[in-house]
Amino acid sequence: MKIMDKINFHRNVMRSPGGSTVAEAIQQLAVAAIMEGRGSEAWNRYMSHFHSNPAQLSRLRGEDGEFMQSDWAETILAYVVSAGTCGGGTGMSLAVEAMPAPMQNFLDANLDSTTDQASDHLKITSDLVRFIG
């Protein structure tokens, strides 16, 4: 699954009936990531919800050297983390649609979208429930 597809999957869960608990968890993770900054444990924890394989996680963590050389890289990662602050009470919940389409495409450019986990969708929900619990 592509990074943007994974983000949109989360967004759809958050906006669905009963999704406010997931939205609040993502919001807490996003705020911590912003406050602690890229490279922090909080940043890595937040970004770990939006990857399907190690190469994608490396990009989201800001560790993909080729990607980070782009003029867009830091702005794209800022969009991903700041979108998470739109939690359950805002009605927006992971408002990544504010990110321009070319940036959305560039986030996934030259990355394998193969998942390294058989139950990728189930893992999303169970990880967040464990975080909340």
| Nearest by Cα to 109 from 69, 51, 59 | 59
Element (H, E) at 7: helix 3-15
Q: What is the pLDDT of residues 5-17, one digit of tens each?
A: 988 888 888 888 8
Q: Where are the alpha helices (DSSP H) in 16-60?
A: 20-36, 41-47, 54-60
- Residue 90 near residue 22, CB atoms below 8 Å: no
Burial class (CB in 10 A: 0-12, 13-18, 19+), 122: exposed
Per-domain boundaries in the chain = 3-132
* Nearest Cα to Cα of residue 57 among 129, 112, 131: 112
Overall size of the chain counted in residues:
133
pLDDT digits (tens, 9 = 90+) for 40-67: 999 999 999 999 899 999 999 999 999 9
Average pLDDT over residues 112-119: 62
Confidence of residue 118 (pLDDT cuts 50, 70, 90): very low
